Amino acid sequence: MMGRWIRQYLLGTFWYRYRLSEDDEASLAQQLPTIEQVLKQRDGWDQKATSRFINEMAKRYLKQSPEIKFDHVILTGLKETELVGGELYEKMFRAVKRPPAKKIALLLDQMGAQFDENGMLQLVGPHTFDVKMAPHGKFLHYFAKLVQRAYGSELLQDKRLHQFRMYLDEHNIRYIRVYFKLPRMTDEQALQLYVKTARKNGGLGGRRLIAERGRFHNKSKPNVPRTSENRKRLCPNFHGEFIIDDEGEFVSQWNVLHRDNEHRVISDWSYYQRIYRDKIDYFEEQIINGESFNYASWNGKIHRHLDVYPTRRLDYPIRRKIAKKWRSPGLKEYKWRQKDRQRTKYYRRGL
């Protein structure tokens, strides 16, 4: 029979509630080396998170049909821990007993966040975002709050954390296009459907997006007047951001960035100059005027510290090169368009 100390380590206060059989105890003890190797040694989870994993597996196992073995439940659960933002991952991440900055670093390490030879952040795994993680979801809000607690009182200096925002953008854009964009729909129509869809089905359940001024997303080259205006929409919690052009399509770096055979983002500036030789202005505008995930929860000092000022120093090199050639319209030049003053069921006017 499993030793008492192992019981307490694995199940803690949940042990007597679950009342696992001796066979279940033996199966759990047999799986312990695999669990520790994956969760602790490979992925860096601490004891609190590991215990939470076992608790969740025990609850799940006792709800399964009798023919499902405990080891199958555990192996399936270990795969789920690689889905950042998923229900199991979120429970474990919240259970981790580390300061906010170290919890943030844990997530970045698990996703294999590292810079390539051109200074662009790459995510090389083994963890990936859960495809069902909604832009307005609890996990992204919790993660943003951790960033505020760790770095909100000063200018963000963590280059890895700053560039991580672009992958949060990619996830959010893909979420809208995959789950809500029907044939012949524009991206904006998909956003409208996202707003109307019930929360249990991944939507906002009627909670409207925020319409904010998009002045910094209307950059242009000197002496080239803009003939259109990009509009800015934010999730109700301020984090997820979408930029929409006059045709109702997203303006996004993910419309133009390419990946190689290893699924890494191509970061070679000369490659894009060659590929977009005849459409370089389009390429540059998608890069410079696209969306940007916000770690802050409102417009203010923390927003400037975490989301605005760091772009000047910490953006990936291609974006910094383009930024030198494009400028934002001045306060007198930029005006809200009439459509942003209208009342709709899809968004509400921001500040």
- The residue type of 54 is I
Q: If you count them, how many residues does the chain have?
A: 351
Give residue-wise pLDDT tens across range 162-206: 999 999 999 999 999 999 999 999 999 999 999 999 999 999 999
Specify the higher pLDDT residue, 27 or 140. Answer: 140
Q: How far apart are CA 39 and CA 46, in angstroms?
A: 8
Specify the higher pLDDT residue, 342 or 289. Answer: 289
3-state secondary structure of 311: helix
Specify the higher pLDDT residue, 236 or 27. Answer: 236
The answer on pLDDT for 97 being more than 70 is: yes
Give the pLDDT score at 16. Answer: 44
Long-range CB contacts for residues 301-307, cutoff 8 Å, separation at least 24:
302/148, 302/152, 305/151, 305/152, 305/153, 305/154, 305/155, 305/156, 306/147, 306/148, 306/151, 306/152, 306/156, 307/165
The answer on pLDDT for 21 being more than 80 is: no
Give the pLDDT score at 197. Answer: 98
pLDDT-derived band at 232, boundaries 50, 70, 90: very high
- The residue type of 260 is D
Which of 16-30, 127-141, 274-288, 331-345 comes out lowest in average pLDDT? 16-30
Q: Which helix H or strand E contains 286, and what residues bound it?
A: helix 280-288
The answer on pLDDT for 2 being more than 80 is: no
Give the pLDDT score at 336. Answer: 75
Which of 34-43, 250-259, 268-277 comes out lowest in average pLDDT? 34-43
Q: Residue 2 in contact with residue 26, Cβ under 8 Å?
A: yes
Give the pLDDT score at 27. Answer: 75
The answer on pLDDT for 9 being more than 60 is: no
Q: pTM of the full predicted structure?
A: 0.92
Q: Residue 110: CA atoms inside 13 Å, Cβ hemisphere, count?
A: 23
Give the pLDDT score at 10. Answer: 53
Give the pLDDT score at 11. Answer: 52
Give the pLDDT score at 7. Answer: 55
Give the pLDDT score at 260. Answer: 97
Give the pLDDT score at 220. Answer: 94
3-state secondary structure of 227: coil
pLDDT-derived band at 226, boundaries 50, 70, 90: confident
Question: What rounded mean pLDDT belongs to the chain?
Answer: 91
Give the pLDDT score at 12. Answer: 54
pLDDT-derived band at 252, boundaries 50, 70, 90: very high
For 33-38, what is the mean pLDDT? 86
Give the pLDDT score at 3. Answer: 44
The answer on pLDDT for 48 being more than 50 is: yes
Give the pLDDT score at 242. Answer: 98
Q: How far apart are CA 121 and CA 140, in angstroms?
A: 19
Give the pLDDT score at 15. Answer: 47
Q: Which of 156, 186, 167 is nearest to 259 (CA)?
A: 167
